[in-house]
């Protein structure tokens, strides 16, 4: 029974890693390409959860999950056009302060629109219940989440590695000066990266709402974990963020089994150990913009 419980916690850790990945991947891309510390990223995650609830009540769960990232992506265009664009060449502390203020504003706006009390979020009826394999029992909905995260991960990887768009983005991370010499404007690509990042955060809110608590401060609460994953993975590395998200989730799942009281602290201990050995993160690359 103990081995079965450990396996269940490890699979739960993989699902948690997928949750962190959806948040951290967009955060890392925005930081790597634009050099902007986006503390408002969690606000888009919360908006995704709330919009998914509103749309789902009228059109069903699937429509809520599909349309809420689109709506938040449109907000991302406005966010990049009228706010972030002003800070690409400015002191990073300015973007940090402005996006922090925006995050607080968004949280209060959510309280005004939906109230301060947590809202119930239900999963689709077909995915309620558990899958039982021998003594191993796992939630159908969590398995669905794991599959959807893997599909999204594959899609983002193909976009960044097998398309002309991805080649320009990767070149912009490492050698923005060379991209400029070739006459390529990074601005439209940065807009697309912001849309991709905030839409993936909104998707995380929509998908994971039924197994978390949907409340106004949910975006603020999750940002610390997202930054931990980005720091562990290393800037400029797609697979670094993926590996970090999986490690953080699995380590937390294993810690719940062996030492439940230390589960929350496990990610910070992991970050400390990684940075002690690899100051740039697990797969972090040298980025000229910052060095």
Give me the pLDDT at residue 118, please: 92
Which CATH architecture fits 1-116+124-277? Orthogonal Bundle (1.10)
Tens digit of pLDDT at every position of the chain (291 positions): 577 777 777 888 888 899 999 999 988 888 877 778 889 999 999 999 999 999 999 899 999 999 999 999 999 999 998 888 888 877 778 888 899 999 999 999 999 999 999 998 888 888 888 887 766 778 889 889 999 999 999 999 999 888 988 888 877 766 666 666 667 777 788 899 999 999 999 999 999 988 888 999 999 989 999 999 999 998 767 889 999 999 999 998 888 878 888 888 899 999 999 999 888 888 876 544 433
Rounded CA-CA distance 50/44 in Å is: 10
DSSP string of 157-180?
A: HHHHHSSHHHHHHHHHHH-HHHHH
Residue the block writes with tokens 């002003």: 86
Token code pair at residue 113: 């629109």
Q: What is the pLDDT of residues 6-51, one digit of tens each?
A: 777 788 888 889 999 999 998 888 887 777 888 999 999 999 999 9
**What b/e readout covers 202-237, taking b as 16+ CB neighbours within 10 angstroms?**
bbbbbbbbbbbebbbebbbebbebbbbbbbbbbbbb
Give me the pLDDT at residue 4, please: 72
Q: What is the pLDDT of residues 242-258, one digit of tens each?
A: 999 999 999 988 888 78
Give me the pLDDT at residue 289, please: 44
Rounded CA-CA distance 214/36 in Å is: 27
Give me the pLDDT at residue 169, please: 82
Rounded CA-CA distance 289/112 in Å is: 40
């Amino acid at each position: 029974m103990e081995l079965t419980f450990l396996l269940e916690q490890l699979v739960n850790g993989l699902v948690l890693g997928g949750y962190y990945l959806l948040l951290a991947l967009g955060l890392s891309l925005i930081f790597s390409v634009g050099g902007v510390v986006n503390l408002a990223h969690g606000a888009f995650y919360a908006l995704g959860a709330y919009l998914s609830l509103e749309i789902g009540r009228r059109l069903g769960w699937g429509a809520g999950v599909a349309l809420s990232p689109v709506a938040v992506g449109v907000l991302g265009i406005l966010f990049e056009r009228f706010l972030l664009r002003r800070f690409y060449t400015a002191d990073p502390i300015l973007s940090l302060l402005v996006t922090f203020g925006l995050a607080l504003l968004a949280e209060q706006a959510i309280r005004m629109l939906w109230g301060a009390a947590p809202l119930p979020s239900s999963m689709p009826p077909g995915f309620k219940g558990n899958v039982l394999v021998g003594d191993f029992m796992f939630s159908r909905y969590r398995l669905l989440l794991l599959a959807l995260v893997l599909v999204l991960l594959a899609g983002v990887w193909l976009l960044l590695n097998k398309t002309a768009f991805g080649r320009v983005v990767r070149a912009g991370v490492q050698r923005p000066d060379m991209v400029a010499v070739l006459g390529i404007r990074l601005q439209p690509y940065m807009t697309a990266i912001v849309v991709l990042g905030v839409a993936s955060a909104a998707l995380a809110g929509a998908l994971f709402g039924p197994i978390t608590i949907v409340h106004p401060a949910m975006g603020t609460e999750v940002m610390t974990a997202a930054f931990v994953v980005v720091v562990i993975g290393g800037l400029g590395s797609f697979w670094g963020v993926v590996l970090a998200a999986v490690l953080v989730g699995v380590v937390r799942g294993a810690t719940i089994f062996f030492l439940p009281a230390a589960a929350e602290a496990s990610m910070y201990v992991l970050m400390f150990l990684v940075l002690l050995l690899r100051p740039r993160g697990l797969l972090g690359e040298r980025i000229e913009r910052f060095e």
